[in-house]
Amino acid sequence: MDFRISDYLARIGQTPAAPSPGALRALQAAQLAAIPFENIDPFLGILPDLDDRAIWRKLVIRRRGGYCLELNALFGTALRALGYDAVPVLGRVRMGAPRGSMRAHLAHVVRFGATRYLADVGFGGPAPEAPLEIGAAFAQPDRLGRFRLRGDGETGETVLERDTPEGWFALYGFDGVEATEADRIAANFFCARFPASPFPNHLMLNRVTASGRSSLLDLKLTTPEGRRTIAGEADLARVLAGEFTLDGAELAPRLWARFLASDAA
């Protein structure tokens, strides 16, 4: 494949380091900041190409973002190239529900001897910036909030939860079974094509910044400074470039046409 660890590290602004929990934290934070979560392709009716070369060209050469099946695929390849013991797993998104949907969210379990961490650069929502230790009996503070991983005896899953004013909020659960290529292909088709999936129906972008997290849901922009509605195509282009480091001039016209078509339907 086209993967070159030096080019990947340059893309996220990092230098090589021996595998360690601290180095893993730095890598995860760096990719979250440099490569945004975005579902532009599914929103425009395009099935993301999960071929390794296609992901490399899109995320590194063309400097786009992607959703979990792309972002964590690139991250996992980088981890293994750097010498990490990283296993891909698929989780079931819960977002507050007692049980999740199908296994469709890609993440990684990274092992350092007997200690395991959940490493994830692709959730695109209220997830942590740093990897979380699996099996820890305590809540784990993060720059973006407080999180915990708890066992769910009914489903056999480990559930990632975020501390909120209303209590612990379940984000997703995973069973630790290694995800295969066939699993990822099926999850990709489900996420991009299933009519009830959010990805073909809503534009969603997310990037972790020095001051917190910026997100766009359709035309509603939320940043650490506040919330507002995108005013038009030119405004969307500026936001794509400024908040999400994307080529707004190329992407905004296509996205704006999609919004206009939806309004006309």
Positions marked catalytic: 68, 105, 120
CA distances from 87 to 61, 80, 117 (A): 25, 9, 10
Q: In this structure, what token pair is assigned to residue 68?
A: 């979990």
Q: What is the DSSP string of 35-104?
A: S-EE-HHHHTT-PPP-SHHHHHIIIIIS---B-HHHHHHHHHHHHHHTT-EEEEEEEEE-TT-SS--SEE
Q: Which residues contact 28 (CB under 8 A, 6 or more apart)?
A: 75, 119, 120, 121, 129, 130, 131
Going by C-alpha positions, the residue among 84, 76, 171, 161 that lies closest to residue 121 is 76
Backbone angles phi, psi at 179, to 5 degrees: -80, 135
